[in-house]
Structures are given as structure tokens and as C-alpha cells.
Amino acid sequence: MVEEDKQPVPDWVTTPPEFTIVSDGAITVAEDDNFDLGYRVGPLFDILRHRDTKTPFAAAIYGD
């Protein structure tokens, strides 16, 4: 019987998970924006508030 080659164990298997706790409270200060929503949703907000934007309007937001 031939001994199988052992594959190295990936780091993610042995590393404990990292936890991030985020409040669902309102963002009152830009530094508290843990999801960077100002950067991500800012362009959509600009489109929605533009005077030439007509309704009905549909938008889709896709995440990683």
C-alpha cells in the first residue's frame, strides 16, 4: 500500500474567526460609518436627489 502525500492545512482552518460587532444605531458621525456607506451609497444618493431624475425609478445594490 502506498502512503498518500499529505497536503498542508490552510491557515484559515486553524485560525480562529475574527468577529466584528457593529451597532444598528443611527450613524451620527462619519467616523462611525463602519460599512463605509457614505462612499458606497453616495453616488446612488446623488442620482436620487438630482432634479432631472424621474419616477418611477428602480435601483439594485449588489454586494460581495
pLDDT digits (tens, 9 = 90+) for 44-60: 888 888 889 888 888 87
DSSP 1-64: -PPPPPPPPPHHHHSPPP------SPP-SGGG-TT-HHHHHHHHHHHHHSTT--SS--------
4-44 residue pLDDT tens: 678 888 887 788 777 666 667 776 776 667 777 777 788 88
